[in-house]
Structures are given as structure tokens and as C-alpha cells.
Structure 1
Amino acid sequence: MSQPQDHDPELALLEQAFEASPGNLALAQLLAPRWQRAGRWASILEWLAPLARSADAPAELRACVQQARQALGGHTGHPGNQGQSCDAAQNPAQNPDPKASHEAHESHESHETRARTSATSQAPAFLPEPLPQQDDLQALSQFAPWTAEHSSVRLADVGGMDALKTSARMRIVEPFARPELFRKYRQKAGGGMLLYGPPGCGKTYFARAIAGECGAAFFHVGIHDILNMYVGNSERNIHRLFETARAHRPAIVFIDELDALCKRRDQLRHSAMATTVNTFLAELDGLGADNEQLLVLGATNVPWDIDPAFKRPGRFDQRLFVPPPDAAARAAILQLWLAQRPLATDVNDTAIEALAADTPDFSGADLKALVEDAVSALLQGVLQGESERPVCLADLQMSRRRMKASTTEWLAMAKNYVEYANEGGDYADIASYLESSAAVTSKKRFGFL
């Protein structure tokens, strides 16, 4: 086609189909109004004008070709008359004079040649401006590390989860802080680590704390930064991300919702995603590059959907289960969300610890919602005429009775994977948590048992 770049991906598919079958009138009828709106008059004359001369060409197609000729300063006859002359040129039975038919044909061909070589084509004033040739969606993503303000979180700011923080410090923080010691034992800082667990439990916040402890450049990458609708651009975005991160080492790349990018290839519906997965694997292996002091952190709620190739040693071989916060962490989270609010005297440390003990398997997001619900109910009463008062323990307890843990469904699903798909021990941490959890106690039975 004369102008291959276009905003509309559907138009690009139509053009490819028409180029493969240029005599298809149905495709020509679909292309004509789109090219007309885009002001692509030369394309109309080059590809559609020959079809407009056929006896069965629709009137709309002939009118479109005629309008293109008018836009390019050519023939200005009426579309109907033009259609008749075209028919006569194509059908010798209607034009018994072969010389006149030949002259008409040459006249049309010479006019189309002049139209295609016209350098000053202008669309009529009543049509919209031609679409820009450069599609913004084709542009590759730009990656930059977070500022110091975003990376000011430390592991001490994470309430509770002492065992998880100890594991992260040994596996991640110390190799970055003391690279000489680890290099002596042929251990490198970097690699890949997968954070997994139920939603709302602070995986993203925990990753920020790790970056703050390491003093490393932190790249927070969403799936929208990687995936692109144009074939090949997703792979280029992955390569650009790793090249940028290597230039800022020591660096941590955090990819949220990793399962959308690293989905099992036997579950992919589109073959284009398979090449994206392969490119990501190659970048993790550091083929042709050095990934030392480059840590790739991934977070997911469905670790069982991650392609097994990502879990082998050297890639995301280190995995940390981020469970719902324990009692101490829940108390710290409640304290955080109750701070800077007017509180009654009965909302003290003892009461908050008791409330934390009464919220097993609540995520951090659940606890925030509990406090917000209690405050919203109080404000609703004030707006209805009640007197202003501080938040009391009864408000929090009533909100607790209205809520349940959002992690229960995830834990029930995880329990099935632990029981029936844990041959390699990938979900041993989940199994240990479930043994001490009250969220999922009954074993599902099948049939009539």
C-alpha cells in the first residue's frame, strides 16, 4: 500500500487482505470510506479506481474514486457519468467502436498516473484532517528509577513478619551491602526472587522496603509498561528495561502481577506472548550481558500460573511467601490507620491488640477497610444529626462484625494446590502457614462422601 502507517489496526488488517486479493470488491467497499476519511486519495486512485470501472462496481465505490480525482485536481465530471464511461471502456458490447474504447482506457490510465505523482494533494474542506503518520502506541516505554522520596521505606517500617524480614535480609540485603564477602564465597548479589501470596498483604510495600535497605535504584514496572499491541514491541520494551537497569546498578527491578507476563506457555492463547516469555527468560539469564548487582523481584497472587522455566535455578529460584500479617503486624497496621484520628480513651494499646487478635487472616487492605468503615459509619451518624464524638472501641468492633477476611478464598485455593500439586515442594511455605491458620480447616469432599 502507498501509506502503510495508520492509526487503526483494523485498517492495517484490511489492507493486508486487500493486497493479497486486490480484486475483492467487498474489501474495496470496506477500505474506501476509511481511506476517504483519512484523505488517502492517491491510495484510492491506485488501488480502487481499477475496480470502479467494472460493471458490477457499487455506486459508493465509484463516487469515492470520483471524489479522489476531484481532491487531486483531476477530472470533475459527475460520478454517474464517470461510471458510465468506465463501464463502456470495460464492456466492448456497449461500445462498438474499439478505437473509442482504447482511447477511453488510456485517458483513465494517464489521469491515475498524474494523480499518483501529484505532490500537492489536499483533502476537501468538509473532510477531517488526515490522521498523523506516527502512532503514539508504537513508541517504546521509557524506564527510570524511583526518586529517593519513593525509596525511603525500610524493613523497620514493615510491621511484624519478622521471619520474612530475616529471610529477605539474608538473601537480598546483605549481598548488596557486603558484595566483597559474598564474592569471596563465589556468591553474587542479584538474581531473581518471587514474592507470592494473597492480595492486599503488602508485597509491593515489602519490595519498596527491600530497595530502601539495599540503597539500590528501584524500578517499579507494571504490565502496561511492557506489553504493547504491536508485534515485537513488547520484546523491545523488556530489553530496554534490562539495559536501563544495568546502567543504574546496583538496581532492583520490581514487576507487579508477574503472572500476566510469565504465564505458563501451555496456557497462552496467542503465540506472540510466547516470544515475549522467551525474551524475558533470555534477559534473566543475562545472555550477552552481566546481571551482577541486578535483582529482579516479581510479585504474583497465582504462583501456580507462572511458567516452570522461570522457577529454575538462576532465574526466580528464590521464592518468598508473603502471608497475611500476623497478630503483631495487624496491631501495627491498625495503629497506623488509627493515627491522626480522634480516638476515645477505650481505644488504647490493649484494645487494639485484642482487635488484632480477633482478625485472623485479615490482610493489610482488610484492616484499612475496617478502620475506614468504622469512621464512615460514625460520620454518617454525625451528618444525620448526632453529636460529634471520637472513634470508640464499639465502632471498631461493630465494623469487625460486618467484615470478613478477603484472603479466605485465596487460602482455600492454595490448600488444593498444597494437597494435590506440591510434589516438588514449591508450596511448602503455604503448607506451613495453613497448619497454623484457622481460615481453612475442613477438607473438601467430592461426590456424596
Structure 2
Amino acid sequence: MSTNREVIDLDHAHVFHSWSAQAALSDFALAGGSGTEVWDCEGNRYLDFSSQLVNVNIGHSHPKVVAAIQEQAATLATVAPAHANLVRGEAASRILAKAGPAFGKVFFTNGGADANENAIRMARVTSGRDKILSTYRSYHGNTGAAVVATGDWRRVPNEFARGHAHFFGPFPYRSEFWSDSPEQEAERALHHLERVIVSEGAASIAALLLEGVPGTAGVIMPPPGWYAGVRELCDRYGILLIIDEVMSGFGRTGDWFAWQNPEINPTGIVPDLVTFAKGVNSGYVPVGGVIISESIAHAFDDQVFPGGLTYSGHPLAAASIVASMDAMEEEGIIENAARIGREVLGPGLHALAEQHPMIGEVRGTGVFWALDLVTDRETREPVPGATIGALKKELMARGYLPFAADNRIHVVPPCTVTTEECLRALAILDEAFTAVAG
């Protein structure tokens, strides 16, 4: 059995890590996981309230998904994308059944970034337009167009793709519009968006790309009126609407998709394209895809789609999707995520905020939450990076694996998390905040 140090030294010697200075990598090794728990090489166990990268929705090592991958590997381990294959068709049909009747086909990709890449391509080809609008507070992936559609700092050193413009989406807690209510925030953000559309030239805009709920940017819940207003603007100006459900889909918000959640989208508007990855199979095998509306799918009946991937609809990935979605349905996993958010995490995190002035705002739904941490609740000044580092250290020491971004701790366990595990996590959070504040 290897030690943590041996695994870390081997990794640091040979593996080049993403978004990292290679001389300052984390000294943390994982050896295994089951459900909501993971453990290192020396048996130290952690509650995984990061879901790794907010993708292990069904939990670690779910036996039905593992068995499906093993069975498929023994049957047919790979197949070219041009061929028909039963498990690929079954995966697509299950996804479409949850997306609803407006959608006709699924294009499979290797992950979320190239899902967004290909959704952008579909919008451009079918609309005859070029420009893509997306928000500054967003993350859409690290391929050519996806990273330029991204709004955060990672876009800046990678701006090689053409035809992108950004705008500020609504964020009531840190408003760019001096709003004093969520409704006013939506109204003013929609006015701003329309001014950007007109100023960029509406006839040049192929699509508007939005996350179902902006995740990495802070689990920013769309305020009332936002989704309906966006759909109306898209329809008025002939712009396609792409919803990026890579992080927010497949149970994360307590629904199959965030845009189907009545708290998020009370008027029930429907996008033209939906991208997915992560939770569709909890990352057991790399996969993503684009859910395509009937009209856009039919546009390629006689026109060649100018895109493709060697591993599109890989059978191991497809098998893991089928098993994952079936298990989610049979075991009530989506419903569990909604209940946990409503009855346990939501009330528990708000109670935590009452005890700790550092928590400026609690945002979220389902198993998708963020704590916005501040030095002062009046000014809402974000805590410095050193405070986040201290919190991470205290949480890890107590057996809690966190997801931290900027001045926030995101609380994002698997959709299978139990009430008992959440109560344990809330107690650890309480202890960590007390230790850091003290």
C-alpha cells in the first residue's frame, strides 16, 4: 500500500495540473470513495462536500453505475461514432425524456467545454449569425470558444476566438445596478442586456449563452422575472438561447435541469439548446453533450453538421449514463436532493449565518449552495484569500473536503447525501468558522 507522500511525490513529479502554478500544488491524495465519503491512502476519511468538481451527483462508486461500466467494457469497449449502438441510443432517449418534447436529438461530446463549443457552432450555423453573448460572472469551459464565452479571469489569457461579447447578469447581493430588490435587479439587468444586444447589433448575434444557475461564479440564483425576460428578448431579436446545465443539471438543483425548477424558472420558458456533462453520470467516464431542439436538429437533416469527435457517445460513457439516470429515478435521488435543500441544508446554513457574521449571504437550492463570506456585513467587503485558506485547513482537519472559490465556500454534496451527513457537515462548518473567527 502506497503512502500519501509517495502518491503525492509521484504525481507532482510527472503530472501537469490544470489552472495551477506547478510548484505550488496541493498536497492531498485520494485513494477511494463511497457515497458521500472519500479517503486517502492512510485511511483518513472526509465528507466530500465538494462532489470533486461539483459533478459526483450520484455519489462515489455507486454499485449500479460501476457494474454497468464493467458489463459494457466486457461487451464492446469502444465503437466509432458513425455506427449505431444500442447503449448510445438508450442514453440519448433517457436524456430526451427528461428534457421534454421540445427536444429531438442529443449530440454527445467528451465533456462540458466541448458541449458548449458545439452548441455555439450549431447556433452559428443555423442562424447565419456569428456573435455569442454571455455574462461576466460565468464559466463555460476551456476550449477555444467556450473559454472566451467564460466571463471570469480565465478568459483573459485565452482570448483567441472571435465573435464574443459579455454583459452583467443579475446578482442581487453584489448588484451592478444599484438595485434594492431581486425584482428590480432582474428589471435593470434585462434593460442592460437589451442595450448590449442593440449596441452589439442584434442581427449579428447568434445566441445568448447562460448557465442554468451560475455555479463557479457563486451559485447566483436568478431573480424573479429574469428567465422570462431573457426568453422574450431572444424571441424579439431572433437570438437562440443556450442554457449551460453542465454544473446545474441532473439533480444539483433538485430537478433534472435547473431551467425546469419552478423556483428558478417559474414561467417555464424553454431554451433552444441545452448543454450537459458532470452530473449526467457523475464523471465516472468523461462525457458531455448538447440537447438539441427539434427545429435545430432538423436543420441538419440535409445539411452536414461541421463537427465531430472520435469518442462521441462512447459506449462506456453511455452505459454509465443509462445506469446513473435509472438509479436516480428508481432510488428517488432527485427528490432527495430537493428535500435535503429544503429541509436540511437551507435551514442549517441560514442558522449558521445567524451565528457567524462572516457569512454575508447564503444562496442556493437543492444540493447547490454558496456562503458569501465578508469582513463586514454592511459594506459586504469580501474576506481575503488568507481567510479562505484558514477555513479550508480547519475543515480538512475535521474531515470535511470543501469547494472554495474566491471569497466563498460552496456547499455542494452529492445528491445522495443523507440528513445525518448534512448535520455532521453543518457541525464541522460551525466549528471551523468559530476557530477562524476566534
Larger RCO, structure (CA 8 Å, separation 6 or more): 2
Structure with more of its chain in helix, by fraction: 1
- Normalised TM-score (structure 2): 0.27
Q: Is the radius of gyration larger for structure 1 or structure 2?
A: 1
Structure with more of its chain in strand, by fraction: 2
